[in-house]
Amino acid sequence: MNQAYFSASFVQSADALPRCPAASREVAFAGRSNAGKSSAINTITRQKKLARTSKTPGRTQLLNYFAVGDDQHFLVDLPGYGFAEVSKSKKKAWQAAMQRYLTQRDPLVGVVLVMDIRHPLTDSDWQMIELQQQGDTELHVLLTKGDKLARGPRIQTVRKVQNTLAEAGVEATIQDFSSLKSEGVSDAHGVLDAWLFGSSLDIE
pLDDT one-digit tens code per residue, 40-62? 999 999 999 999 765 555 445 78
Break the chain into its structural domains and give their ranges: 3-197
Low-confidence ranges of the chain (pLDDT < 70): 53-60, 84-86, 200-204
Options 3.30.70.3420, 3.40.50.300, 3.40.1640.10, 3.65.10.10; CATH for 3-197 is 3.40.50.300
The rounded mean pLDDT for the chain is: 91
**Other C-beta atoms lying within 10 Å of the C-beta of residue 10:** 15
| Structure confidence at residue 53 (pLDDT) | 64
Among candidates 53, 52, 33, 41, which has minimal Cα distance to 189?
A: 41
DSSP code at position 146: G
| Structure confidence at residue 195 (pLDDT) | 97
% pLDDT > 90, the chain: 77
Q: List, for residues 125-137, the tens digit of each pLDDT value.
A: 999 999 999 999 9
Q: Is the dihedral of CA 154, 2, 109, 200 positive or negative?
A: negative
Distance CA(29)–CA(77), nearest Å, equals 5
Distance CA(23)–CA(151), nearest Å, equals 39
Among candidates 165, 91, 97, 169, which has minimal Cα distance to 131?
A: 97
Q: Give CA separation, 112 vs 85, 144, 152, 189, in Å.
A: 25, 11, 24, 11
Backbone angles phi, psi at 197, to 5 degrees: -120, 0
Entry pTM: 0.93
| Structure confidence at residue 122 (pLDDT) | 96
Distance CA(140)–CA(80), nearest Å, equals 17
**Other C-beta atoms lying within 10 Å of the C-beta of residue 6:** 12
Q: Who contacts 111 (Cβ-Cβ below 8 Å, separation ≥6)? A: 27, 28, 29, 30, 102, 132, 137, 138, 139, 140
